[in-house]
Amino acid sequence: MKLTGSEIVCEALIKEGVDTVFGLPGGAILPFYQTLSGYPQLRHILVRHEQGAVMAADGYARATGKVGVCISTSGPGATNMVTGLAVAMMDSVPIVAITGQVARPAIGTDAFQETDVTGVTLPVTKHNYLVMNAADLPRILKEAFFVARSGKPGPVLIDIPKDVQTELADFDYSIELDLPIQTPILKGKDSDIKKAIKMIEKAERPLILAGHGVILSQAYEELKEFSEKSQIPVVTTLLGLSAMKSNHVLNLGLPGMHGSAFANKAIDEADLIIAIGMRFDDRVTGNLKTFATKARIIHIDIDPSEIGKNILPEIAIVGDAGTVLRQLLPLSPKKTHPKWLQEIDQLRINHPLSYPETDRILPQFIVEEISRITKGQSIIVTGVGQHQMWAGQLYEFKDNNLFISSGGVGAMGFEVPAALGAQVGQPDKVVWTIAGDGGFQMTLTELATMVEANAPVKIALINNFSLGMVRQWQELFYEKDYFATLYTGNPDWVKLADAYGIKGIKVTEKDGVETAIEQAMNTPGPVLVDFQVDKEENVYPFIPPGGGVEQLIEYPDTKVV
């Protein structure tokens, strides 16, 4: 069957189970767009910026477990995708990005809107392709989706010259892949499993450190059963939040730079750490020399390059988090650790997660109220900064895979497009984005996309008129020299929301918080709530960069939450 390159792409997307793509057209991708209009099975959502396309595809992928797909034209369209690709690469999110390129004869001539996109995106993709023949498209598309979702997931980019999109070629999607890559190892070695079980049997103060890999493998029940069977408490990395329900008695929540004091102190006292699907990021470990010095380490990860990169484990198990947990479960000892659990209970009492009791509007109170009113069942999408940490600390996730955020890259502006993508992927879920006024202004153009796509995202704007996290560091480490962090030109957010056709609500008093959240929940369509919070509120606890638990700063004179 002879098809044009553009038709081949559309047919392949359908065969890969794609139902939604996020994109923005331009000259070099126009042949594909003219073809896409004839495929009603593929819903196209028109974003207002190509960065929004990638981040929306990212939110969609995380919320659904499917591969997210985004599309742009050549040159500036493609380079606008780089930040989103970097986020997906660092956070292991499966995305296929399709970009237009100038026609083959013009490549290398500095033609209008020509950029070496494969060269530019090489460091921020798992793999990328420049397609020089339409006949190669079926194989390349099949490979791209396989690579994006297999092993440690990640983004793949396909750059297609304009004339390749119109070239005729045979379409056969039954081809067998012959990739020069090692098939991902899913199952741990039996010998390593047995060694790990012996170590677990001997441990008196064991701790599980669960990361994003647990969510990617959807190993929620396995993690819960493993933790319960051997009575091992669980701490979760930022991207591991909601891998275990927040109200589970064995869940200690978030560790690290802004994690709870009791979670960090539990890590410090543990004699065994079982790290599952996490990479010992510096925001978790702080100073590597002082991290978990009393603990032996078992590290489970599907990516062998992550094991030993930062922390050298005593036992390394290369494999998928869910598969390895299923191997461990029947062999794991049925144990209790009453003394250890009592120690942790005492740590909770002595070092509670807390914030001040005050009549001022504090961000922590807003997050708690959103958690209470949504009953812990909403998908929470954040940007990066103080609001992200408060959301991670205080929202009580009563179900799995409810937290979406930019982790490793820490990209401000992630919140709006990613929330759009999550809502499109999970239309029956309530999606809240907890946003900072700094990052929100970077991608707020996607409010128009939310309206057009009928995506009823609820936006909690934590408006402190500053780049809050940077301002906090300036306060603590730079003698309160607040250079370039305080805003004097924020817009009237209610008027801005109205301009986009969105309901806007302004909250300036604490007693208006509950009403505003409930009003947002009961209003059809997107809603923007401008919470004008205390401008100088900081995130605590706080371990200074490069420090350890001994440098942890707790919040003095506070209300226990």
Provide DSSP, 59-113: HHHHHHSSPEEEEE-STHHHHTTHHHHHHHHHHT--EEEEEEE--GGGTTTT-TT
Q: Which helix (H) or strand (E) holds 354?
A: strand 354-355
Q: Are 446 and 417 in contact (CB under 8 A)?
A: yes
Place of tokens 């995380």: 62
For residue 438, give every residue at least 6 positions away whose Cβ sits within 8 Å of its Cβ, in sequence order, or none: 385, 412, 466, 467, 468, 487
Backbone phi, then psi, for 326, in 5-degree steps?
-70, -30
At position 379, the amino acid (one-letter code) is: I
Q: Which helix (H) or strand (E) holds 381?
A: strand 379-382
Task: List 486's β-bridge partners, or say none.
Answer: 466
Residue 180's pLDDT is 75
Is the Cα torsion angle 169, 172, 173, 177 positive or negative in sign? negative
How many whole angstroms separate alpha carbon 454 and alpha carbon 432? 15
Mean pLDDT by 10 residues, the chain (561 residues): 96 98 98 98 98 98 98 98 98 98 97 97 98 98 96 97 98 89 87 98 98 98 98 98 97 96 97 98 95 97 95 97 98 96 96 89 97 98 98 98 97 98 98 98 98 98 96 94 93 98 98 98 98 94 92 68 38
Backbone phi, then psi, for 99, in 5-degree steps?
-120, 145
Residue 557's pLDDT is 53
How many whole angstroms separate alpha carbon 393 and alpha carbon 407? 15
Is the Cα torsion angle 348, 351, 356, 361 positive or negative in sign? negative
Q: Which of 382, 355, 284 is nearest to 538 (CA)?
A: 355
- Give all strands of the β-sheet with 234-236 in edge-to-edge order: 251-253, 234-236, 206-210, 272-276, 296-301, 315-318
How many whole angstroms separate alpha carbon 519 and alpha carbon 35? 42
Q: Could you give all domains of the chain from N- to C-terminal order, each with its CATH number?
A: 2-170 (3.40.50.970), 190-350 (3.40.50.1220), 354-540 (3.40.50.970)
- Which one-letter DSSP state was computed for residue 501? T
Is the Cα torsion angle 189, 190, 195, 197 positive or negative in sign? positive
Buried b (16+ CB within 10 A) or exposed e, 25-35: bbebbebbbeb
Place of tokens 């919040």: 555
Task: List 272's β-bridge partners, or say none.
Answer: 206, 296
Q: Are 361 and 510 in contact (CB under 8 A)?
A: yes
At position 54, the amino acid (one-letter code) is: V
Question: Catalytic site residues?
Answer: 50, 112-113, 162, 469
Residue 128's pLDDT is 98
Three-state helix/strand/coil letters over 209-268: EECHHHHHCCCHHHHHHHHHHCCCCEEECHHHCCCCCCCCCCEEECCCCCCCHHHHHHHH
Q: Are 10 and 42 in contact (CB under 8 A)?
A: yes
Give the side-chain half-sphere CA count within 13 A for 446: 34
Q: Which of 389, 403, 395, 404 is nearest to 368 (CA)?
A: 395
Q: For residue 337, give the 3-state DSSP assignment.
A: coil
Residue 158's pLDDT is 98
Please work out, in degrees rounded to the nearest 5, the angle formed at the alpha carbon of residue 468 by the alpha carbons of 465 and 470: 130
Task: List 466's β-bridge partners, or say none.
Answer: 486
For residue 20, give every residue at least 6 positions away whose Cβ sits within 8 Å of its Cβ, in sequence order, or none: 42, 43, 44, 45, 60, 69, 424, 425
How many whole angstroms separate alpha carbon 175 and alpha carbon 155? 22
How many whole angstroms separate alpha carbon 69 and alpha carbon 93? 11
Q: Are 208 and 274 in contact (CB under 8 A)?
A: yes
Total H helices, total E strands in the chain: 22, 22
Q: For residue 431, give the 3-state DSSP assignment.
A: strand
Place of tokens 């543990």: 270
- Which one-letter DSSP state was computed for residue 20? E
Q: Give the β-pairing of 95-101 and 296-301.
A: unpaired
Helices (H), 374-512: 386-394, 415-425, 437-443, 446-453, 468-477, 493-499
How many whole angstroms separate alpha carbon 423 and alpha carbon 29? 26
